[in-house]
Amino acid sequence: MKNNFKVIGFDADDTLWINESYYRETEEAFFKLLSQFCDRDTASAVLLKQEVMNLNLYGYGAKGFCLSMLETALTVSEQRVQADTIGEIINLGKELINKPLVLLDGVVETLDYLKGKNIRLIVATKGDLLDQERKLGNSGIEKYFHHIEIMSEKKEENYRNLLSSIDLRPEEFLMIGNSLKSDVLPVLEIGGYGIHVPYHTTWQHEVVDDFTDHSRYLELKKITEIMGVI
Ligand SMILES: [Mg+2]
């Protein structure tokens, strides 16, 4: 892979810091609350369907997730869910938003290395604006980034807009992230470069299963391996 990029973009959730594991923990607690109405697999299927249906209305992130949990509780209980259970679900959502910010191993070391190479670094992430701003503020790594882009979607058009707003040609841009679907494929599609660093857990909606190799793409096991490539 070439290594004279002007700008490197980092996804945030599950690329720079832990995120998906917190959602999985919250879901398990939520499924327990619903066990009076249905089994775990049913609750899980209804929740995923509700989340995907709500994406257009609420976008990505914790607040939309909370609303999807509430709607799921209404559905599986056939509108019989008690107010105290609703209260517990809302608390689960607040706990999710207040989980500690934990950087993934090697992130600071990698950012230090890239900064030393004089490459401009940016964050390009989906999620709630306030939630992502809070996480970045708590992360201690905000100082490494020239620009933070909180995107409503990560499709080709969104990346095209991002690059034109920072005056960059696609071939000058490398995007690094844990989601093939959101961080890599659309960037390859518009002529940029992509590095996939998988996280051990992937939200089902982000899973892609028909990806063939690409000359502007690389998969790494750990974020620190970027230092051997760039
Ligand atoms: Mg991510």
Ligand 1: centre distance to CA 123 (Å) = 11
DSSP state of 68: H
User: In which residue are the tokens 């559905």 written?
Assistant: 75
Provide the phi-psi class of 140: left if phi over 0, else alpha when psi is between -120 and 50, else beta: left
User: Helices (DSSP H) in 156-214: which residue ranges?
Assistant: 156-165, 185-189
Ligand 1: centre distance to CA 83 (Å) = 34
Cβ pair 194, 185 in contact under 8 A: yes
pLDDT tens for 41-80 read 999 999 999 999 999 999 999 999 999 999 999 999 999 9
Ligand 1: centre distance to CA 125 (Å) = 7
The model carries a pTM of: 0.92
Ligand 1: centre distance to CA 178 (Å) = 5
Ligand 1: centre distance to CA 179 (Å) = 6
pLDDT tens for 155-200 read 999 999 999 999 999 999 999 999 999 999 999 999 999 999 999 8
Cβ pair 186, 161 in contact under 8 A: no
Cα–Cα distance between 84 and 93 in angstroms, integer? 14
Greatest Cα pair distance, the chain, in angstroms, is: 59
